């Protein structure tokens, strides 16, 4: 078995995790899947911000764990969920780093959603 490469964020590949200071609402098939004022915004290199939502603010009863898994050298092992009510489009629509590396430890117990696999991710800035 080959050992996994671990990379540390830095000037050539920055990663920041901070409170989103927004209400984030995720919908699928007309139902609210997640609604939180406690999302974290992860900004990585030049990619768009990704909102990580605490599991306590996600309707976990609507999610089904899958066998799909990936690896990020900056964040660690990644697990996935599908959203049954979303049909084929929502397969592996949700991801989570259950034991993320120290540089992004804040995202543990949080979930993120692929925008193209849900109906909407509504981000409402808090005044």
Q: How confident is the model at residue 69 (pLDDT cuts 50, 70, 90)?
A: very high
Per-residue pLDDT reduced to its tens digit, 16-48: 999 999 999 999 999 999 999 999 999 999 999
What is the 3 state secondary structure string of the chain?
CCCCCCCCCECCECEEEEECCEEEEEEECCEEEEEECCCEEEEECCCCCEEEEEHHHECHHHEEEEEEEEEECCCEEEEEEEEHHHHHHHCCCEEECCCCCHHHHHHCCEEEECHHHCCEEEEEECC
Q: Where are the domains of the chain?
A: 15-125
Architecture of domain 15-125: Beta Complex (2.170)
Q: How confident is the model at residue 3 (pLDDT cuts 50, 70, 90)?
A: confident
Query: Which pLDDT score, from 0 to 100, does residue 15 have?
Result: 98
| Signed CA dihedral, 41, 96, 114, 43: sign only | positive
User: How confident is the model over 59-73, as a mean pLDDT?
Assistant: 98
Per-residue pLDDT reduced to its tens digit, 71-108: 999 999 999 999 999 999 999 999 999 999 999 999 99
Query: Which pLDDT score, from 0 to 100, does residue 2 have?
Result: 73
> Would the pLDDT of 127 be above 80?
no
> Would the pLDDT of 1 be above 90?
no
Q: What is the pTM of this model?
A: 0.95
């Amino acid at each position: 078995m080959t050992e996994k490469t671990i990379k540390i964020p830095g000037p050539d590949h920055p990663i920041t995790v901070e409170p989103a200071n927004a209400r984030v609402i995720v919908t699928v098939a007309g139902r609210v899947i997640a609604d939180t004022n406690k999302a974290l915004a992860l900004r990585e290199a030049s990619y768009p911000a990704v909102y990580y939502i605490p599991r306590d603010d996600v309707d976990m009863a609507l999610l089904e764990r899958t066998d799909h898994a990936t690896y990020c050298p900056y964040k660690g092992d990644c697990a996935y969920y599908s959203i049954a009510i979303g049909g084929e489009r929502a397969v592996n629509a949700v991801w989570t780093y259950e034991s993320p590396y120290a540089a992004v430890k804040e995202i543990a117990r949080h979930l993120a959603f692929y925008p193209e696999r849900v109906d909407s991710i509504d981000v409402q800035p808090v005044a």
